[in-house]
Structure 1
């Protein structure tokens, strides 16, 4: 007879409203020891609210939580931590100026209410958990000097020092390469062996199905499905999340073989970052550039846009050579850039959607007398808001109130309002749910069909397969492979990247 383990944590019929809007509608979920339970759903589905309630940050309107053998109406953050609940958020919530060891031991030092810290004790405690998990971390290094992958390992170790029974990982693979994701999954399996219940929250459906034993899907605050992960495919999860069929096929129209050359990069070099880069982009073409983290892929994009100018080489836009020594030079040449970190580099978070949309193009709305044509501005904002299908009450909504997918659409709108000849996008759908991702990629295809040249920097290989006419692979600062048309294949790209 099979013995079913008792849940380490259960939530029962949780309801949470904000201003009359239901964030969660009678949601129940259980977490078993040694199980990876993935929580899936689009932005706004209720995932973050549920995490906040489990971790004690938010209090539900009704329902209950069972943990540690007792049932209660809500938890406080301290009660959640004492009961063994730990959350690793996307930003890891680490102290960048402290060492890895100090970050790892911080919670246990606070929990034991020590008045004085002992460097020897801190390093011994950190070393114990690192060895137990079979990791290699420079415990003496300041966290700000570590890679994203190593910072994540520090956050995991910090949680386990506190004897975590439930570990919630919120979008843990967003900034990781394919190789680093494999390493993270190895760590997750070790946590399972320790009996830790892992709640894994991710938009990346292939990863969800690779690591999960069970799956719960939320949509509009309601639990729509839960069951063994083996019962699902990427397509069926996407349909449950969005309520509609989501295509996984290649959806790019062929580029005219006689299309004019929009961008011709020749022998572009920046010492220490990339060398002798040659690439071309034609009217209506979407060019993908990928490679492992540190390969030089982002640095190439930043050089083309003048953020970190190349030391040598030539950039020719629409037949005219341009010296790109600054962002201003790139914009004048007709190049736009959507950065990887849209929140700190691409948007004014405290400003409205409307103000963000026209922030970089106000001069184009001036009359011959130097005054702003307010009607043209309003018309353009309304058109972009509708065309990019931004989900917000109105254009006066503040950008920091938007979901990741809608914030990304505002960044796109800002550049589309400038009508660039070439648009470079670095990680255009990072942290974006499956429905918004599909719509953003559709917008890019529409812009390419209208004659824009688009470059997409991404490590989301299915995204490149579905949307690009060509894909270049960068390794150690050089372009080492090119895939064209129907030869663009996810398995072959992964193989070449790992070679």
Structure 2
């Protein structure tokens, strides 16, 4: 099989950072090629170079044995290289047709848009993908999976030779992932080469023909997926073996103090939710997509309206009507979408960390004490091992794992005694996951209580001292002890029981 893409000695330097250094490898035509590595390994930088967003500092790119120089994404698309980012690039208030042909609209001889023809062609492209999508409504009203299909349609509406997927399954359900994989197999059968970036190694073994690993901006290895193993890939990624990603659980004593008690929590999405949380406990909330997991904690902290709720902290009834009031009661939320809900991406690491605690570092004449602020930030960077050139670095330039640590640093400096982690390791590599798990267990050992919501069942089982399982807006059961199994959790998550307590 001939090579379609060859990368030779690619390096990329940013101020204070070497993102890539002398990376070389080839990708064969018509294969699905995985690109793996920890957050910060250089995967995204390399893909931005291949799609024309960044120019390499040094090195050469060959497409079908011809050297190419990419100056912008439009040129890359014209050459047949397209990328589908984890954060979609759709215009939310345009419909699918308008998004698919944005920037390359079909016009009639009189210069007016040929909307009828564009709609016909969009429908034809989507039909080849078995995607039944309403073409007349703004894409913001489509599901995440439907939006992703529109993104793919944008790419393949013109001749595409190389299609790059960046964490494509991060927000998809099991059925939607199946549909995506079927589509990728169809594209592969048509000769389209796929570059597939994912932290889910099981997807790589299910889907990919070969893989390349990057670590710290350098090439580690390229090999057939059939000739490697999950353990070997992990070792390539992190430079060491990870035998057990989950730290040892604490033993919650029977007479442990109750930090939080929730009764009769109700709104349009959840009903009759009640549970307790002990000091120093990690309480996992499991369930299928749409079961009401996130809705529970949003209603708890006042981000969503509750028709009815009773909340007790240290036995005292409190009335929490907003996230600000929740913070006043010592409750912090590390949200599911850190980029849109947890961070100001264009702001520095320092400004993000100190945003919730400015009142602590402002003196009597309302001027920020810069030394005190810097001390807090530097302590957070050192304690949480945040990898950043300096506290002045914009958060958008950090890896996903380090962005998550910045969100965590924000809330740790507020002296919260209850932290809610919603999908704490989404989009984070296996090495950074291990660090986050250790941080969570260290916090629990210090007496901070944690509620953790996760779609990754092994994570729920590996980290939780106790698990609440939700089904259709209700707590189906709570499972206590180290004997919990994935089968038991899934039994209740799919409606196999209700309001039972399992030893």
Q: CA deviation at 1:231?
A: 3.1
Q: CA deviation at 1:498?
A: 5.4
Q: In the alignment, is residue 201 of structure 1 matched against residue 197 of structure 2?
A: yes
Match of 1:253 among 250, 254, 257: 250
Q: In the alignment, is residue 473 of structure 1 matched against residue 469 of structure 2?
A: yes
Distance in 1 between residues matched to 2:387 and 2:139, nearest whole Å: 37
| Conservation of the 8 A alpha-carbon contact between 1:60 and 1:74 | no
Q: In the alignment, is residue 220 of structure 1 matched against residue 220 of structure 2?
A: no
Q: Deviations over 1:231-284 (max 9, x none)?
A: 33333222211112224454222222321111111120012x111111221111
Distance in 1 between residues matched to 2:182 and 2:110, nearest whole Å: 34
Distance in 1 between residues matched to 2:228 and 2:4, nearest whole Å: 25
Q: In the alignment, is residue 170 of structure 1 matched against residue 155 of structure 2?
A: no
Identify the range of structure 1 (242-251 vs 78-87) with the bigger mean alpha-carbon deviation.
Answer: 242-251
Q: Deviations over 1:187-243 (max 9, x none)?
A: 222222222111111122222232212111001111101112233333322221111
Q: In the alignment, is residue 277 of structure 1 matched against residue 276 of structure 2?
A: no
Cα pair distance change 1:165/1:266, threshold 3 Å: same
Distance in 1 between residues matched to 2:449 and 2:65, nearest whole Å: 59
Cα pair distance change 1:232/1:496, threshold 3 Å: farther
Q: In the alignment, is residue 394 of structure 1 matched against residue 394 of structure 2?
A: no
Q: TM-score, normalised by structure 1?
A: 0.91
Q: CA deviation at 1:365?
A: 5.6
Q: Secondary structure at the match of 1:135?
A: coil
- Match in the other structure for 2:157: 161
Distance in 1 between residues matched to 2:67 and 2:19, nearest whole Å: 22
Cα pair distance change 1:53/1:394, threshold 3 Å: closer
Distance in 2 between residues matched to 1:474 and 1:186, nearest whole Å: 30
Match of 2:407 among 411, 417, 424: 411
Identify the range of structure 1 (250-259 vs 420-429) with the bigger mean alpha-carbon deviation.
Answer: 250-259
Q: CA deviation at 1:391?
A: 1.1
Q: Deviations over 1:356-403 (max 9, x none)?
A: 323222445678999977665544333222111111233333333322
Distance in 2 between residues matched to 1:14 and 1:404, nearest whole Å: 23
Q: TM-score, normalised by structure 2?
A: 0.90
Q: In the alignment, is residue 127 of structure 1 matched against residue 123 of structure 2?
A: yes
| Conservation of the 8 A alpha-carbon contact between 1:85 and 1:165 | yes
1:317-356 to structure 2, matched below 5 A, reads 317-356=313-352
- Match in the other structure for 1:429: 425
Alignment length (residue pairs):
494
Cα pair distance change 1:451/1:17, threshold 3 Å: same
Q: CA deviation at 1:49?
A: 1.8
Q: In the alignment, is residue 44 of structure 1 matched against residue 18 of structure 2?
A: no
- Match in the other structure for 1:109: 105
Distance in 2 between residues matched to 1:407 and 1:113, nearest whole Å: 50
Q: In the alignment, is residue 83 of structure 1 matched against residue 76 of structure 2?
A: no
Identify the range of structure 1 (377-386 vs 455-464) with the bigger mean alpha-carbon deviation.
Answer: 377-386
Q: Deviations over 1:48-104 (max 9, x none)?
A: 121122112222233322224523355653332122211101122111111112222
Distance in 1 between residues matched to 2:491 and 2:160, nearest whole Å: 36
Q: In the alignment, is residue 358 of structure 1 matched against residue 354 of structure 2?
A: yes
- Match in the other structure for 1:28: 24
Q: Deviations over 1:410-467 (max 9, x none)?
A: 1111111111121112122222222222111211110001111101122122322221
Cα pair distance change 1:401/1:78, threshold 3 Å: closer
1:438-453 to structure 2, matched below 5 A, reads 438-453=434-449
Distance in 2 between residues matched to 1:295 and 1:352, nearest whole Å: 36
Distance in 2 between residues matched to 1:150 and 1:307, nearest whole Å: 27
Cα pair distance change 1:54/1:304, threshold 3 Å: same
Q: In the alignment, is residue 460 of structure 1 matched against residue 456 of structure 2?
A: yes
Q: Secondary structure at the match of 1:57?
A: coil
Distance in 1 between residues matched to 2:411 and 2:468, nearest whole Å: 24
Distance in 1 between residues matched to 2:83 and 2:106, nearest whole Å: 17
Instruction: Structure 2: give runs of 5+ residues left out of the alignment.
Output: 496-503
Cα pair distance change 1:375/1:316, threshold 3 Å: same
Q: CA deviation at 1:323?
A: 1.6
| Conservation of the 8 A alpha-carbon contact between 1:43 and 1:404 | yes
Distance in 1 between residues matched to 2:25 and 2:367, nearest whole Å: 58
Cα pair distance change 1:222/1:382, threshold 3 Å: closer
Cα pair distance change 1:157/1:373, threshold 3 Å: closer
Match of 1:244 among 240, 259, 262: 240
